[in-house]
Structures are given as structure tokens and as C-alpha cells.
Amino acid sequence: MNYRHGYHAGNFADVLKHTALCELLRLLTAKDKKLFVLDTHAGAGGYDLAGRLAQRTGEAEAGIARLASAPRTDMPPAVARYLAAVAAYDRKFGATDGKPRRYPGSPRLVRTALRPGDRFIACELHPEEVFLLKREFAGDRAVEVRQADGYKALKAVLPPIERRGLVLIDPPFEAADEYERLLRALRHAVRRFATGCYAVWYPIKDEAAAAFADELSALEPLTLEMRLGGIEPGRLAACGLSVINPPWRFEEAMREALPWIADRLGPGVSAAVRPPQAGRPAGKAAP
């Protein structure tokens, strides 16, 4: 349990994941019905891009920093909303020049999108991350922070009383059996809460990732991918986000946003949107 997301905050994987998350939240909160959100591996909530962890890797420079400074000609609305959310968080700490210095993790992005009556549970197991997460939301009754195994939380809180929900699953992928644990937990969650929207992030590194994606395809998700070029061996160069039961128009927004992002992140960066397998339309969960 050594993973700290601060090393990777604002990198290309966060850009993909959080652009999609902001759009999912926007679409799911468009309906006048209460929404439940569960973040199973929430992290610290917010990150200092000038801090020790982020500066050690410098990954944000090739991610959010590059995107924020890119010319905004023909910027897709989904990207504009994501960058606005990042800038709004940054302004809380006094930033005014447009260069990101603080980066919102998924819990902060979720909190910004919540309406009165919506409910949010953020789970984290790492002791230092939990401390920071609780400090991030101290006094905020709209956010329930739990020091808990996110996979066990899926069983504990699903189905939600709201009957409408978004579940973000973004594990650290430290354990050797992470893919297996994730698949078991996800299958169980979908059986308990078949109409929920699930967003599952995973690194694409080796044959285990390919096997995982193949197994995951049985749930017929919409899958987003981003790949970098010219990355030294051993560093993350590709990742995926699979979304089960995406809301209407989410796929359309991602098909517009991801190629634009890839072009601005630099040469060799590519993005793909892969629709669910034939046989079940998007928006229908597996039994």
C-alpha cells in the first residue's frame, strides 16, 4: 500500500479520466433526480503540482499543463468544462495566470458537480491519503470520507437508495491480483445495481491488461483509450477508461473531445473511442 497519486496528478491519464468524469457528472445531474456517487479509490482529493511528489516525476507538464496552455481554437465543450473545473480549483489557492499549480482529484471534481440532495462517498485505504482527503473536505456534510477497501465498499453500499448512481473505480494496480479483484468486484456490483453507471480506469502495460480488457468486454462497456509515443520503457504510456451504462450523448462528446486532446498533448499521442460489442446497445448493463 505504497501508491501515492501525487506523483502522477495531472498526467495524461488524469486528463483522459477527468475529462470523461466531468462529462458523466454533467449528463447524470441534468435529470431532476437525486444521484449517488461512489469513488472507490479516491486518493487525496487535491494535489500540489509544485510539491515534492509531482515535481519528482514532472508528469503534469506533459498532461494538464500542456493542455491548459494549448490554443483553444475549436475546443470541444467537454474539454472546456474540464479545464474550467481545474482552473476554478486552482483559483482557490490564488492562481491567476492560467498555469495549473493545484490539481483537483476525482473527489473534488465530483463535489463541484453535486447538487443539494445528491450523495457522495469517497473511499481510500492509504493512511496518509485518507488524512489529506478528510482535511480536503473537513466540515463538508455533502461528502462522506471512509477509510475503507473500495472493493468491499461496492458490496456494502450498492444498490443505493437513490437508484441512480455513478461508480468510479480507479485502483492503484499495485497488487499482483488487482485485475482479478477488480473484475470480481465489478461483476458483483453490476449484479446488485445493474442500472448504475460505472467508470473503470486501468493502465495498459502488458498482456495482463489485454486479458483484463477482454474479460471486461463481456459487460459491453464504452471504452476510451489514450496512448503516448516515445515513452521510455517502464513508464506508463497507455491507459483505458471503460464506462458501463454511459448516459446518452456521452459517447458523442468523447468522440469530439479525445482527438482534440490528443492533438494538443503532442506528437505521437493518440486516442480512441471503442463502442460496446454488438448485441446489446450502450446503456444496458449485463445481467
Is the pLDDT at 281 greater than 50? The verdict is: no
Q: Give catalytic status of residue 170 as yes or no.
A: yes
pLDDT of residue 74: 93
pLDDT tens for residues 219-254?
999 999 999 986 666 678 999 999 999 999 999 999
pLDDT of residue 212: 93
Is the pLDDT at 127 greater than 80? The verdict is: yes
pLDDT of residue 233: 62
Average pLDDT value over all residues in the chain: 91
For 105, counting Cβ atoms within 10 Å of its Cβ (0-12 exposed, 13-18 middle, 19+ buried), the class is buried
Q: Which of 97, 140, 170, 263 is catalytic?
A: 170
pLDDT band at 286 (very low <50, low <70, confident <90, very high): very low
8 A C-beta contact, residue 12 and residue 265: yes
8 A C-beta contact, residue 205 and residue 179: no
Q: What is the mean pLDDT of residues 21-46?
A: 96
Q: What are the cell numbers at 185?
A: 468486484
8 A C-beta contact, residue 201 and residue 29: no
Please state the pTM of the whole predicted model: 0.93
pLDDT of residue 140: 94
* Cα dihedral: 54, 57, 61, 63 (round 10): -90
pLDDT band at 157 (very low <50, low <70, confident <90, very high): very high
Q: How far apart are CA 75 and CA 189, in angstroms?
A: 36
pLDDT of residue 91: 87
- 60-92 per-residue burial string, b: 16 or more CB within 10 A, e: under 16: bebbbbbbbebeeeebbebbebbbebbeebbee
8 A C-beta contact, residue 222 and residue 246: yes
Q: How far apart are CA 228 and CA 222, in angstroms?
A: 21
